[in-house]
Amino acid sequence: MARSKLTAAGDDLVTDGGNVLFSFVQGEQLEHPVTLNFLDDPTLYTYEAVIVESLNAVQQTEPPVSIRPSGVQSTLTVRIPVNRGDWLSVTAYNAGEIVRYNSVYYVLLQGTAYTNTTPPSSDTKWQATVRNKIYIQFPSTMGTGWAVQPDISYSVYGFFELRVSENVGVFPRTWKPVRGLVELLFSPTELVT
């Protein structure tokens, strides 16, 4: 029976690998993969990925520690790869779709309506993957309406968080597995029209 003081925490029952830093040059549009080890089928969950503008300042040398009051709040798209089930040589597949072959999942790297009799384990257009991987899409317009824009000598930041929620159950669980900062760096090509 536990008898230690409440403030003398000895066990971390919910572990955290730490915060992340996503760094982008203004105008970049990228997709970032996230593997969610605590779930098997990503289609059974709801995802919310957001960025909140931080209280950036001109010539700042460190990331801000608070949000900008009434700052820009952005919702990002989360892409879940289409699972096509077991691989069949006669089926046409598109880039980004996943299949299962010999109990291993594979993602098609390129192609549209691609068919081949070579199984994914021996075909260079397929790559081994995991079923529980999702992709967060960071648009090229990210940070556009922020009060302070990056300059040659400093970056600006926003706060990022991913929420994953169950869709069913008496008490649906919610996780927040990825949190941290989004850094925007200056881009000369954003100035030239």
Contact (Cβ atoms closer than 8 angstroms) between residue 68 and residue 54? yes
Flag residues of the chain having pLDDT under 50.
none
For the chain, the domains span: 21-79+131-190
What was the pLDDT predicted at 191? 86
For 119-125, which contacts have Cβ atoms below 8 Å and span 24 or more sequence positions?
A: 119/87, 119/89, 120/87
pTM above 0.85, yes or no: yes
Predicted confidence (pLDDT) per residue in 33-84, tens digit: 999 999 989 999 999 999 999 999 999 999 999 999 999 999 999 999 999 9
Q: Which CATH architecture has domain 21-79+131-190?
A: Sandwich (2.60)
